[in-house]
Amino acid sequence: MKKTLVFLVLINIIILLGMSSAQANKDALARAQYMIRQINAELNQMKASNVQIKLEKQEVDKEYKKLKKKYNKLTKNSDSKSKKLSSKIDNIKQRYIQERDAHLETKKILNEVTKDKNSLSDLSGRKTDKINLCVASNKKLYSINKQILLRYEDKGVWDSLTQAEPFSRLSQVEIENLVDDYQYQIEDLKIDSNL
C-alpha cells in the first residue's frame, strides 16, 4: 500500500513537471502535497493500528499460552481420571460377576433345600399317618385285650366245666371261634414295622 501511494505521488509530480503553466503547477503541487499529507495520515494511522494489533497479538499469545497450559493440565487430569474410572468400572464388573455367581449358587442351593424340605415334609406326612394308624390300632388292640380279659374274669366254674365237657364239645367250639375272631381282628390291626 505504501509503494502504491508513493507511485501515485510520483506520477502526479511528473505530470506537474510536464505542465507548462504555472497555475497548473501550483494546482498539481497542492494536490500532491494534499495527497502526501493524506498518505502520511494513513501511514500514521496504519502504524498506530499496527502497534495496536501487535499489543492485541501479545495479549492473545499470552492467553493462548495460559489456555494451552490449562488444556494440557486438564488433558493429564482427564487421562488420570479416565484410568481411575476405567479401573473402578473393571472392579464393579468383577464384583457384579462374583455377586451374580454367588446369587446363582445360592439359588441352586435354595432349590435343593426346597426339594429336600418337600421330600421331608412328604415323608413326615406319611410317617404321621402311620403313627396315627398305629395309635388307632393300639387303641383297638387295647379294647380287644380288655374284652378278652373281661371274658376270662367272668369265666366261672360252670364255663370251665362246659369247656372240658367231652360229649358235645359246644363250648370248646365257641371258644375256638372266639379265639379265631380275636386272632383275625389282631391281624387286621397289625402294622408293618417299616415306618
**Sign, CA torsion 144/147/152/153:** positive
| pLDDT on residue 107 | 92
pLDDT tens series, the chain, 195 aa: 556 666 666 666 666 555 555 666 677 778 878 888 888 888 888 888 888 888 888 998 899 899 888 888 888 877 788 888 888 899 999 999 999 999 999 999 999 999 999 998 998 898 888 888 778 877 877 777 777 767 666 665 555 555 555 544 555 666 677 777 777 777 776 666 555
147's grid cell: 374284652
Q: Which residue has the cell 387286621?
A: 188
**Per-residue model confidence (pLDDT) at position 168:** 47
Question: Can you give the pLDDT at residue 100?
Answer: 92
Distance of alpha carbon 62 from alpha carbon 78, whole angstroms = 24
The dihedral formed by the CA atoms of 182, 186, 188 and 193, expressed in degrees to the nearest 10 = -170
Look up residue 53 and give its three cell numbers: 494489533
Question: What is residue 112's predicted lDDT score, i.e. its pLDDT?
Answer: 93
- The pLDDT, as a whole number, for residue 110 is 92
Phi, psi of 115 (to 5 degrees): -60, -45
Contact 146, 134 (CB under 8 A): no
> Is this prediction's pTM over 0.75?
no
